[in-house]
Amino acid sequence: MSNRRVARILREVAELLELEDVAFKPRAYRRAAEAVESCATDVDELVREGRLGELPGVGKAISEKIEEIVHTGRLAYHDELRKKLPVDLYALTQVEGIGVRTAKRLYEGLGVRNVADLERAAREGKIRRLPGMGERSEARILRGLAEVRGTEDRILLWYALNTARALCRKLEDTGLFTRLAYAGSLRRGRATVGDVDLLGVSSQPEQAARAFVELPEVGQVLARGGKRASVRLSEGLQVDLRLVPESSFGAAMQYFTGSKEHNVRLRERAVGRGLKLNEYGLFDETGAAVAGSDEEGIYSQLGLLYVPPELREDQGEIQAAERGDLPELVQTRDILGDLHLHTNWSDGEVTMEEIARAARQRGFRYIAITDHFLFSETVGGVTADDLRRQLDEVARLNEELDGFHILSGVEANILADGGLDVPRELLRRLDLVIGSVHSRFRTAKKVMTERLLRAVDDEAMDVLGHPTGRLIGERAAYEADWDEVFSRAAKTGTALEINANPQRLDLRSGLVRRAVEAGARLIIGTDAHAEPHLDFMELGVVTARRGWAQAKHVLNTLSVEGLLAARKRGRS
Ligand code: DGT
Ligand code: CA
Ligand code: CA
Ligand code: ZN
C-alpha cells in the first residue's frame, strides 16, 4: 500500500465529512493525509514497527484507520461514507471549481461519477443548466480540467527529493558507484517532477544496474539494458538510472538535467561555433572532445558563465550567461531565520520553545511565531487574549534563549473586503504581521485584486502570505492582477512570501521573478506545523532561485535587527 493511496483515502474521508458539516474531524483527516504523503518512510513499515504515532497530527483513532487500510486495502468507515456519494471524489475535486458540494450536485443532477463524465457534461453545456451553476462555473470547470490534465501523475518535489536521496545513499553503500547524482526536473527544482533521472559512473556497470533493479523499493522493472535501467517503485514513482563513462559524466549531467528547451539553445550555440554537443561530450570538427567530464567545462567552452540548474528553462539565462551577468542566487545558508511558524497555540504540534530550539539547532538565528488568528471554530487559531499572553511568553523565552531571537507575530486573515481580522492595537505590538487569504478564493479576478491591494496598503501588514493560495494537485491559484499587486507591494514595502510548504511553493517561481523585477521584497517561510517541516526551507530557497532571486531580495537573509528595520513598519 503506497503512502499516496493511503493519503488519498484519508483525504476523501475528510471531504465526505465536510459534506456532512462535521466540525474538526475533516481537518484532522486532511492533516493526517498530508503527514502520510510527505513522510519518506513507507506507511507499511511504520505500521509494522508500530511507529504511526510519529507522524505529526496522527493520533490513536486515525492510526487505527491507517492500520486498517494497510492491512485490508480499504477502510470500512470510508466505504460507509461513500455510499452517500458513489463517485470518484478524489479525481473530481482535483478540478478547480469542484468542491465536494458541487460534486454532489453534479452527481444528483447529471449522474457525473468521474472526470470523463464531467468533461462530457461540461462540453455539452449541461452544467450551466444546473441550479446554482451558470455559464461562468461551466467555463471555470473546463479551464480546471485543462489544468488538472497538465499535472496528473506528477510528484511533489519534496517527496521525489527525499526518495531520490534515500535511493542514492543505498546505491552508494554498495560500493559499486564512483559517481552518482540526480538530474532532470528534480535537479532544476521544479515544484513537481514526472520521474527521477539518476546518472552514475561505475567500473562494473552491469552489477551496478543489477543493484539498482534489485533495490527493495522497486515494484516493477520497466526496461533493462547493460548501461541503463528504468523502474517503477512500489509506491508509484518512476526512476531511470543511466551509467556513463567518467569522461562523459558532465555532458550527461548537462544533457539529462535539461530542460529540453535550454538544451536546444545550447546545442544551437555549439553548432554556431563549429562544435557538436550531445550527452557524451562537446566535440570539435575532428571529433576530439573539448569538454565532457564536468558541466563547467561545457559552459565555459561555449563562452558562457556556468548556469545554475534552477535557471535552465530558456528564460533568458543563456543570454545573461553570455553577457556575464547571471544573478548571484540566494542560497539556503544565507537564510538566517524562519518567519512563518505555527505552534500548539493554534493548529501546530509543538510548543514555542520546542520549535525555537529546533530552529536554533538547524542553524537559524531567529524565528517568528505566526499562529493563525481565530477565524472560524474549525481552524482553531489564537484569540486576541491568547496573543497578549503569547507576547509575554515570547519575552520570557527570549531571556532564556541566549543568542537566539523569537519575534512575536501572527498570521492574520485577509477578509473579503481586504481588511485584517486582528485588532489594531495588537497588530501594532507584534513584531511581524503576515496576512493571508484563507477564505472566499473563488471571486472574480478584479475583486480579488482589489482585496489584495487593500491588504497590501495596510500599514500593519508586513508580509502577504502564500500570495496565490494554490495547493498543488488540489486547488489552483486564485486569479489576480499580480503585476499590480507586486508593484503596490514594492511601493508600500510589503514583503511577499515564498511559502516553502511542498504543496504550496507559493509564490511560484515565475511570479517570484516578476515580483523581483517589480522591486518587491520577499520572505521565505516554511509554514511549519511540526519540527520536521523546518526542513522545507530548502524548497523555498530553490523556488526563489528559480525566480532569479538574490539574497538581497529576501528579508530573512538579514540579521534580526536588519530585518526589523527593513520590514514595512520598520521603514516608517
Ligand atoms: P519531468 O521528468 O517531466 O519532470 O521533466 P524532466 O525535465 O526531468 O524530463 P525527462 O525526465 O523527460 O528528461 C530529462 C532530461 O533529459 C530533460 O530535461 C532534457 C533531456 N531530454 C530528454 N529528452 C530530450 C530530447 O528529446 N531532447 C533534448 N534536447 N533533451 C532531452
Ligand atoms: Ca525527469
Ligand atoms: Ca526521465
Ligand atoms: Zn496560511
Between the CA of 240 and the centroid of ligand 1 the distance, in Å, is 11
pLDDT band at 152 (very low <50, low <70, confident <90, very high): low
Q: What percent of the chain has pLDDT over 70?
A: 98
* Tally of CB atoms within 10 A around 268: 11
CA 182 to chain centroid, in Å, comes to 19
pLDDT tens for 210-268 read 999 999 999 999 999 889 999 999 888 999 999 999 999 999 999 999 999 999 999 99
For residues 200 and 111, give the distance between their C-alpha atoms in angstroms, rounded to a whole number. 51
Question: 276 CA distance to ligand 1 centroid (A)?
Answer: 19
Coil/strand/helix, residue 336? coil
Distance 148 CA to ligand 1 centre (A): 21
Biggest alpha carbon–alpha carbon distance for the chain:
78
Q: Rounded to whole angstroms, how far apart are CA atoms 269 and 299?
A: 11
Residue identifier of the C-alpha nearest atom 25 of ligand 1: 260
Using 50, 70 and 90 to split pLDDT, how confident is the model at 488?
A: very high
Kindly report the average pLDDT of the chain as a whole number.
93
Cell of residue 293, nine digits: 567530464
Residues in the 5 Å CB sphere of ion ligand 2: 184-185, 195, 197
CA distance linking residue 107 with residue 81, whole number of Å: 15
Tell me, what's the pLDDT at 429?
Answer: 96
Under 8 Å between Cβ of 506 and 468: yes
Phi-psi region of 519 (alpha: psi -120 to 50; beta: other; left: phi over 0): left
| Ligand 1 closest atom vs CA 255 | 20
Distance CA(200)–CA(571), nearest Å, equals: 51
Give the model's pLDDT for residue 547. 98
The DSSP string of 117-176 is: HHHHHHHTT-GGGSTT--HHHHHHHHHHHHHHHHHTT-EEHHHHHHHHHHHHHHHHHTT-
Please give the helix or strand (H or E) that residue 338 lies within, else none: strand 337-341
Chain CA centroid to CA 477, Å: 13
Per-residue pLDDT at 90: 76
Q: What is the pLDDT of residue 149?
A: 64
Residue nearest to ligand 1 atom 5, measured at CA: 185
Please, which residues have CB within 8 angstroms of residue 306's CB and are 6 or more apart in sequence?
295, 296, 299, 300, 321
Query: Which atom in ligand 1 lies closest to the alpha carbon of residue 190?
Result: 4
Residue 407: strand pairing partners: 368
- Asked if residue 460 has pLDDT above 80, the reply is yes
261 CA → ligand 1 middle, Å = 9
Coil, helix or strand at residue 403: coil
Task: Give the number of the atom of ligand 1 that is nearest the alpha carbon of residue 263.
Answer: 29
Distance 504 CA to ligand 1 centre (A): 24
- Cα of 256 to ligand 2 centre, how many Å? 8
Is 280 a residue whose pLDDT tops 90? Answer: yes
Span from the CA of 331 to the centroid of ligand 4 (angstroms): 24
Which atom belonging to ligand 1 lies closest to the Cα atom of 192? 4
Specify the residue with its C-alpha closest to ligand 1, atom 30: 260
Please name which ligand lies nearest the alpha carbon of 241.
3
3-state secondary structure 515-562: HHHCCCCEEEECCECCHHHHHHHHHHHHHHHHCCCEHHHEHHHCCHHH
Catalogue all structural domains in the chain, each as residue range(s) with its CATH number: 3-151 (1.10.150.110), 155-243 (3.30.460.10), 250-323 (3.30.210.10), 332-566 (3.20.20.140)
Looking at ligand 1, which residue's alpha carbon is closest to its atom 15?
256
* Half-sphere exposure for 269 (CA within 13 Å, toward CB): 19
188 CA closest ligand 1 atom index: 7
* The ligand 1 atom nearest the CA atom of 154: 4
Ligand 1 atom at minimal distance to the Cα of residue 197: 11
Q: What separation in Å is there between the alpha carbon of 183 and the centre of ligand 2?
A: 7
Q: What is the pLDDT of residues 322-362, one digit of tens each?
A: 999 999 999 999 999 999 999 999 888 899 999 999 999 99
The string of pLDDT tens digits covering residues 154-186 is: 899 999 999 999 999 999 999 999 999 999 999
Q: Which residue has a Cα nearest atom 10 of ligand 1? A: 184
Residue 376 CB coordination number (10 Å): 11
- Please give the Cα distance from 108 to 117 (Å, whole number): 13
Q: Which residues contact 265 (CB under 8 A, 6 or more apart)?
A: 314, 318
Ligand 3 centroid distance, CA of 231 (Å): 11
Question: Which of 542-557 are b and which e, b meaning 16 or more Cβ less than 10 Å from the residue's Cβ?
Answer: bbbbbbbbbbebbbbb
Residue type, 179: R
pLDDT grade for 379, boundaries at 50, 70 and 90: low
Q: Cα of 189 to ligand 1 centre, how many Å?
A: 14
What ligand 1 atom has the least distance to the C-alpha of 185?
A: 8
191 in Cβ contact with 155 (< 8 Å):
no
CA of 435 to the centre of ligand 4 (A): 8
Report how far residue 229's alpha carbon sits from residue 212's, in angstroms, rounded to the nearest whole number: 8
The residue whose C-alpha atom lies closest to atom 18 belonging to ligand 1 is 258
Ligand 1, atom 9, residue with closest C-alpha: 184
331-368 burial, b at 16+ Cβ within 10 Å, e below that, comes to eeebbbbbbbbbbebbbbbbebeebbbbbbeeebbbbb
- DSSP string covering 186-240: HHHT-SEES-EEEEEE-SSHHHHHHHHHTSTTEEEEEEE-SSEEEEEETTS-EEE
Ligand 2 mean position, distance from CA 172 (Å):
21
Q: pLDDT at position 572, please?
A: 59
- From 159, 193, 257, 260, the mutation candidate for ligand 1 (largest count of ligand atoms within 8 A of CB) is 260
Whether residue 524 contacts residue 501, with contact meaning beta carbons closer than 8 Å, is answered with no
pLDDT at 44 over 80: yes
CA dist 387 and 375 (Å) reads 14
Q: Is 434 helix (H, G, I), strand (E, B) or coil?
A: strand
Cα-based distances in Å from 324 to 93, 153, 300: 47, 38, 11
Band (pLDDT 50/70/90 cuts) for residue 374 is: confident
DSSP run (H or E) holding 570 = helix 568-571
CB 376 within 8 A of CB 556: no
Q: Which ligand number lies closest to the CA of residue 184? A: 1
Nearest to 507 by CA among 473, 546, 459: 546
Provide long-range contacts, Cβ within 8 A and 24+ apart, for 279-283. Answer: 279/244, 279/248, 279/251, 279/252, 279/254, 279/255, 280/244, 280/248, 280/251, 280/252, 281/247, 281/248, 281/251, 282/251
DSSP states of 453-512: HHHHH-TT--EE-STT--BTTTBPPPP--HHHHHHHHHHHT-EEEEE--TTT-BS-HHHH
Full-model pTM = 0.79
Centre of ligand 4 to C-alpha 491, Å, is: 24
Q: How far apart are the C-alpha atoms of 434 and 370, rounded to whole Å?
A: 7
pLDDT of residue 142 exceeding 90:
no
Q: Which atom of ligand 1 is nearest to the CA of 258?
A: 18
Ligand nearest to the CA of 190: 1
Report the run of H or E that residue 106 belongs to, with start and end: helix 100-110
**Which residue CA neighbors atom 1 of ligand 1 most closely?**
194
Pocket residues for ligand 1 (CB within 6 Å)? 184-185, 190, 193-195, 197, 255-256, 258-260, 263-264
Q: For ligand 1, atom 28, name the residue with the nearest CA.
A: 260
Q: Residue with C-alpha cell 465536510? A: 18
**DSSP helix/strand/coil, 64:** helix
